[in-house]
Structure formats: C-alpha cells, structure tokens
Structure 1
C-alpha cells in the first residue's frame, strides 16, 4: 500500500481575469490503509485538494509524492451510474476483460451489500444503494487510493448514517486507503483516523483520532471536546 505526501501545494484559478488563490501551501501526509478526512467550509479548497491529489488537476507549484506505484478511483456526491447499465455492468464499466474476474466482481458487490441486485438498473435502486454501486465500481478497479468527494451529502440522515457504517466496514475489510472530503464535523469524527481542517487554502489544524471507528460515540466527553475544538478552528461560533 502506498501513502501520499503533499508538499507545499499551491493552486490558483483565473476567474473573470482575476487570480483567485485556492490552495496556499498545503503540507499533509496521507497514510495508507486509513481514512484521512479533509474538513472545511464551502470554498475552502477541499475539493480542489482532492482533485489535485487524484490527478484530475495539476498544482501550480509543490509536489504530490506517492510512496510507490499507484491507481486512484473516485466516488463523487452523485453516484454517476450509467442509467442504461445494470449494477453489474456499472461496476465493471471501464475494466478490461483481463480485469473482469466474475468471482472478484461478485465479491465486491457482496462487500457493499448489493448481492441479488446485480441485474437491477439504477432507477430501481434507492439513493443509498446507488452509492453502494458507485463504491463497488471504485473497489473493482483495485485502486491504491479512493478519493471520495462528499459522497453522502445528498442522502437523508438515516441513509447517510447507514452508508457511513458500510464504508467503515468495507474499509476495514479491505484495508482501503481513502481521502474523504466533507463539511460535516460529525461525519469527520465518525470516519476519520486523521482529520485535516482546511481554511483559506491551508491546513489550519490536524487531528489524530485514535479511538477505533466502530467504538466511537459522539456523545462521549472526548468526542464532544474534540468537536468543540474543531468548531473553534472553523470559526463556526
């Protein structure tokens, strides 16, 4: 497994002939086999950071250093499934025949809890099930890192909570390396082994959350204290 080092990353966009700085010297280590959460308010540079790390965009300066050869997969806020393809066909979409091992694909579909829905079309699935299919598609690619850009933001509270638990189960089962973007403090506390708070294009605070994810209770004193500290860093109060 390969981790990632982000070294002095800068990124500026040109908007209406004006340069808008988005990232202003990001330095961050993303360990392999863990979930690193990028947390911040809208417009702070979270998605830009994820897109640069995953290779969808190029930084103006700085270095993104992988520890070894790598492949990345993405899961976005919308499932982005092909509506004319079944779950199975969506999961294998983009894979070569050599990569499409029926046993492995079935195992991936089973991992995300969609066994029995292989022949279903996206319109026949709930929002949560569609996102499971999107996660299965990412896993089938066997990536080094999965980049997840607010994948549960459009789901209702109960479905979102269920999907968070499913993601943790999948991550632990496969020791997946995940970079996860969110603006929800609770979601960051539930999922993250490491939480990077981004403000004005810089890492303002970095937290290591040592408690095992499956044992975390957001009502415990330790988690409440951590949440208060994060809120203060995000200037929400």
Structure 2
C-alpha cells in the first residue's frame, strides 16, 4: 500500500532579482513502513520538498496524497530540535496532546526509551545537543506516527553520537513501524538506515536516480561494506 505520494511539478521562490526555481518535476511514492532517504547537496531543495510533504508549504504546483488517516498520524523532526526553552522536556512533549494527563504513561514510556527518564523537568538549554535531539525524537514518537518526516535530524553531531541516535531511531521504528521520508546529505547515514535512496540534483532539484539498499543490518554497521556498496553504485552517488 502507498503511504505517501508526492508530486511536485514546480516550486519557486520570489526574489528581488527574479524568481528562484527550487524544485522541478519530483515524484516520490513511499510504501507502508518503507524508509526512504533523500540525498542531495546542501541547498538543493531537500527541506523545501519535506515541508511540502508535511503540508507546511502549499504554494507549489503539484500534489501530496496520503493513505487514509495517515496525515493525522504524521510527525516531523526538524534539523534543529525546536524545543521551547521556557518549557521543560516533559512540557515540550506534552504540547502534542490536547489532554496531556491522559497520556502521562505514554510520555513516561517514550522518555524511558530515549534515555531521558529523570530529565523530565530539565529545560532544553540545560541539555546537551544530543539530549535535545533525543527529546525531539521522543516528541515525534509519543504520537506513534505512521508517517515520519525527518530533516537531517543528526546533522552537526559527532559521529559516535550520531551513530547512537541512528541506532535509537531503528530501535524505536522496530517497536512502532512507520513510513519514513528522511532527508540527508550524508551517504553513510542514508545507507545505514534506508530501504531505498533517492538522489537529487543541485537546485532546481530533480531526481537523478534511485537505489534499493540490499544490505543486511550487519553490513550496514560495517564502514567497509558501506563503502563497497557505494563504490558499486558510484554513478548514482555522483549524479546529484
């Protein structure tokens, strides 16, 4: 079953010196519980594409179609943790519910899962960046999403911490399967997580290729295996 069908024929931005074309003729279909990573150079339009998929930007030519009820079970993890600094970790997570008290057990459970049990009453600015990103994951997963949109959620982290958060993401998806559209410019991250890769050109973004990732979990954790898989498909990685 198709979870998300995204068709962006044209997306542009007005500038003082004329129109900036951001995206041209992108079509993406994501199956139920499929993890799709979108790779492309910085500034190519990946975030714009994700905002359209989330319904945050409706000023474009095209369409975004969701499986029945899926848009109501969607979560978005931004590049920055986007936590409100005047609210504690728990209060930031409570914001996604109209009646947080009815979901107290769910909130406690997800905080335990991301390793933030005991940090519920700490304010974001008192947390490390890694802890802030874990709080953002908790806020997304407490809704038990069926569609998860992620915009370079581990960017700027050192590799050991990024690897731990990727493992955490995989663990949480194992417990709560979801269709994932994941934006990154890091090919190693994409290969370690995704079922399928989509490659975008420099702006205006166009799809230059797709690749199914036929690597086992063991191979995905082996840098040499990742490099070997990339080398075998170098033409695609170089196309964006």
Query: Under a length normalisation based on structure 1, what TM-score does the superposition of the two structures give?
Result: 0.89
Work out the CA distance in 1 between the residues paired with 2:59 and 2:10. Answer: 6
Name which of structure 1's ranges 99-108 and 185-194 shifts more when overlaid on structure 2: 99-108
Work out the CA distance in 2 between the residues paired with 1:235 and 1:123. Answer: 39
The residue correspondences of 1:1-237 to structure 2 (distance < 5 A) are: 3-69=3-69, 70-71=71-72, 72-97=74-99, 100-199=102-201, 200=203, 201-213=205-217, 215-216=219-220, 217-220=222-225, 223-228=226-231, 231-235=234-238
Give the SS at the match of 1:96. Answer: coil
Name which of structure 1's ranges 114-123 and 200-209 shifts more when overlaid on structure 2: 114-123
C-alpha contact (below 8 Å) 1:168/1:213 kept by paired residues: no
Moved over 6 A (4+): none
Give the SS at the match of 2:32. Answer: coil
Give the SS at the match of 2:106. Answer: helix
Cα gap change, 1:65 to 1:99, in 2 (>3 Å): farther
Name which of structure 1's ranges 29-38 and 180-189 shifts more when overlaid on structure 2: 29-38
Give the SS at the match of 1:115. Answer: coil
Give the SS at the match of 1:101. Answer: helix
**Is there any run of 5+ residues in structure 1 with no aligned partner, and where?**
none
Work out the CA distance in 1 between the residues paired with 2:4 and 2:57. Answer: 16
**Is there any run of 5+ residues in structure 2 with no aligned partner, and where?**
none
Cα gap change, 1:2 to 1:138, in 2 (>3 Å): farther
Cα gap change, 1:226 to 1:16, in 2 (>3 Å): farther
